[in-house]
Chains A and B, each alone.
Chain A
Amino acid sequence: MAEITTERRPRLLDGVRRGAVRVATAAGGRGGAVAILLLLVLGFFIATPDFLTADNTRNVLRQYSVPAILAVGQTIVIVSAGIDLSVASTAALSGSLMGVAFAHWGWPEPLAVLLGLAAGFAVGAFNGFVITRLKVPDFIATLGTLAAVRGVALLVTDGLPVPDYGRAGEGRRVPESVATLGADSVLGIPLIVAVAAACALLGWFVLSRTKLGRAAYAIGGNREAARVSGIRIERSKFWIYVISGLLAAVAGMMLTGRLASANALMADGMELQSIAAVVVGGTALFGGEGGVGGTMIGILIIGVLANGLSILGVAEFWQRVVNGLIIVAVVALDQWRRRAATRGSGGLRPSPPVDERQDA
């Protein structure tokens, strides 16, 4: 069907289509996302003078640093054809545990921070264990930890915000270093943005410069080929989930620093935001392609859209609707690009030799 309509399509339209495909496939398939981001920025810039100001830009970046950190881990996981639904819960647990240890238990600051990181490591390792050893599908395993880890966070905090003044030690709120990184700025740049950038850089390094990253792409691209090539799939996946857990811990502690308080229910829904950022950024959910750069564009699209809409006074309920629809639209556009590239002469043919081998 599609083939036939393509052939009948008038020349001009075909040319337009090809041009659009070329734009969209530029920058490693990220051209589409970049174009949408630029369009959004341009649109809001024209619509309101309050959008493209230094203050508002800082505001967006600060606000979306935490989901950006989660999305970095999520990118690595999704490239390897997995998914981590537990990142937001893990962030809440890490922030809460750190807060409770520091404010209520009176732990020294470094130990409290270490405990937060350890919580992220533990959840990641648990996910990795359940997925690789107990062979539970990634989606189900992390859906389980999504719920369970929230529960642990509620247990740790008794469901109350941390610090709870009844129990907090004298003058103890959140660790100094975390508060500084989460809320302060240097030379006009919020430190939390720098932390997010550092995490993104780390994620980019892991994915594109290490054996683990190469393994992630191979597992996502052709699991069987990865296996017979000697890639240790189980081990690789385990460490990928550990990295995701650790990044979630950093995100949770940064959020705690930004809010100057933690609670078991914070970062609610951010796992979906992180997945959306990855997908909007051009990483296919079935794995094997994409990268941290695209994800950062993705998170910016989500952030700019939400921010612009609220500056324009669009009601919060409507914002949710638009937010959801734009995710679907961007991915639909991406799918269309893939199909178009497959039909055209692009380098994205899925598996060409099949027919050719039958001919031989």
Chain B
Amino acid sequence: MTANATENGTPILQLRGINKSFGPVHVLKQVNFAAYPGQVTALVGDNGAGKSTLIKCIGGIHPIDSGEFLFEGKQVTVHGPRDASALGIEIVYQDLALCDNLDVVQNMFLGREQTTSIVLDEASMEERAAKTLKSLSVRTLRSTRQLVASLSGGQRQTVAIAKAVLWNSKVVILDEPTAALGVAQTEQVLALVRRLADQGLAVVLISHNLVDVFQVADRIAALYLGQLAAEVKAKDVRQPQVVELITTGRTEGVESELPTSVDEGVTA
């Protein structure tokens, strides 16, 4: 960790010792996590490991119970989605969080509509939305004025991603963005993920598909039962090791952050 931190410069987003419980369920335990500009950090872990919970804490959807949240080296508190986006953090949630009853443009600008005085500036929003979709080389959408309810799963995914990259943000977090996609669209999204990082953004990618992870990720962080098992450079590990990290929390040749006995950590 410390060695990596110096090697990669300072992380733009850094979490230290994050704890989060839902009632009696201790979902995140002392989690450390960091994202670096220009790099794709993959966040992996089994179902229920706490990946989505972690990014919802980053996005201000869930308040954290304890721990430090640093952005560009400064301690910050994120009380809600508006705080997160004000910092420059954009998140595509696993359930996409789109309004079916609104059209593509309306969804992309939801909560941040452009106005001239108090009147919605539909024309310029439509133009910007179209431009962004084009830059993502999205050609499958018939119209930006289509209701989101009428879109296919992949198209919805694309709209959700376009909504996140619309804002010239510094950190983009994608929770299983390829889960609903076919082969070609998955390739497109992965290429986009890489492109965003190459443009200097810090990208966090949550995925169960390790082939995808190894294709684009610079770093891999593995969550195991709510604890960070390891954070490694992608080129330093092989796929079977990551599988082991995901399923057991440790693997040979990788220094684990978990306490010596995993069981202890789990029951604590």
Residues of chain A having any CB pair with chain B under 8 Å: 209-211, 214-215, 217-218, 220-222, 224-232, 288-289, 347-353, 356-357, 360
Contact of B97 among A211, A224, A232 (CB under 8 A): A224
A214 in contact with B80 given A221-B101, A289-B101, A353-B152 (CB within 8 Å): no
- CB of B119 within 8 A of CB of A226, answer no
A-B pairs, 6 with minimum CB distance: A353-B153, A230-B111, A221-B101, A356-B153, A229-B111, A225-B97
B83-136 contacts to A (CB < 8 Å): 85, 91, 93, 95-102, 106, 110-113, 115, 118-120
Give 7 pairs: A residue, B residue, CB < 8 Å, sorted on A: A210-B120, A214-B106, A224-B97, A225-B99, A226-B110, A230-B85, A231-B111
Contacts of A289 in B (CB 8 A): 101
A230 in contact with B82 given A225-B110, A349-B150, A353-B152 (CB within 8 Å): yes
- CB of A209 within 8 A of CB of B120, answer yes
Known: A210-B119, A228-B97, A356-B152. 17 other contacts (CB 8 A): A210-B115, A211-B118, A217-B101, A218-B99, A222-B101, A226-B99, A228-B61, A229-B97, A288-B99, A347-B146, A347-B149, A348-B147, A352-B150, A353-B152, A357-B180, A360-B153, A360-B181
Give B137-171 as 1s and 0s: 1 = Cβ < 8 Å from A's Cβ atoms.
00000000011011111101000000000000000
Contact of B98 among A211, A220, A222, A231 (CB under 8 A): A222
- CB of B101 within 8 A of CB of A352, answer no
User: In the assembly, what is the distance between CA of A289 and CA of B103, in Å?
Assistant: 12
Chain B residue, CB-CB nearest to A206: B118
Contacts of A288 in B (CB 8 A): 99, 101
User: In the assembly, what is the distance between CA of A162 and CA of B182, in Å?
Assistant: 71
User: In the assembly, what is the distance between CA of A349 and CA of B102, in Å?
Assistant: 13
- CB of B179 within 8 A of CB of A349, answer no
How many residues of chain B have a CB within 8 Å of chain A? 38
Chain B residue, CB-CB nearest to A232: B82
Any chain A CB within 8 A of the CB of B81? Answer: yes
- CB of A352 within 8 A of CB of B153, answer yes
**Which of A211, A217, A229, A348 has the largest count of B CB atoms less than 10 A from its CB?**
A229
- CB of A210 within 8 A of CB of B118, answer yes
Contact of A222 among B91, B99, B111, B115 (CB under 8 A): B99
Contacts of B45 in A (CB 8 A): none
Contacts of B96 in A (CB 8 A): 225, 353
Contacts of A232 in B (CB 8 A): 82
Contacts of B106 in A (CB 8 A): 214, 217
Any chain A CB within 8 A of the CB of B59? Answer: yes
User: In the assembly, what is the distance between CA of A217 and CA of B107, in Å?
Assistant: 11
Contacts of A347 in B (CB 8 A): 146-147, 149-150
A353 in contact with B101 given A211-B115, A214-B106, A360-B153 (CB within 8 Å): no
**Which of A209, A214, A352, A353 has the largest count of B CB atoms less than 10 A from its CB?**
A353
- CB of B152 within 8 A of CB of A229, answer no
Chain A residue, CB-CB nearest to B109: A214
Contacts of B99 in A (CB 8 A): 217-218, 221-222, 225-226, 288
Contacts of A230 in B (CB 8 A): 80-82, 85, 110-112
Give, as a whole number of angstroms, the nearest-CB distance from A76 to chain B: 15
Give, as a whole number of angstroms, the nearest-CB distance from A71 to chain B: 21
Give, as a whole number of angstroms, the nearest-CB distance from A219 to chain B: 9
User: In the assembly, what is the distance between CA of A226 and CA of B97, in Å?
Assistant: 8
User: In the assembly, what is the distance between CA of A227 and CA of B61, in Å?
Assistant: 8
Contact of A229 among B81, B120, B147, B150 (CB under 8 A): B81
Contacts of B179 in A (CB 8 A): 357, 360
**Which of A215, A226, A347, A357 has the largest count of B CB atoms less than 10 A from its CB?**
A357
Contacts of A228 in B (CB 8 A): 59, 61, 81, 91, 93, 97
User: In the assembly, what is the distance between CA of A107 and CA of B119, in Å?
Assistant: 37
- CB of A220 within 8 A of CB of B81, answer no
Contacts of B111 in A (CB 8 A): 215, 218, 226, 229-231
Contacts of A225 in B (CB 8 A): 96-99, 110
Give, as a whole number of angstroms, the nearest-CB distance from B114 to chain A: 10
Chain A residue, CB-CB nearest to B180: A357
Contacts of B95 in A (CB 8 A): 224
- CB of A218 within 8 A of CB of B180, answer no
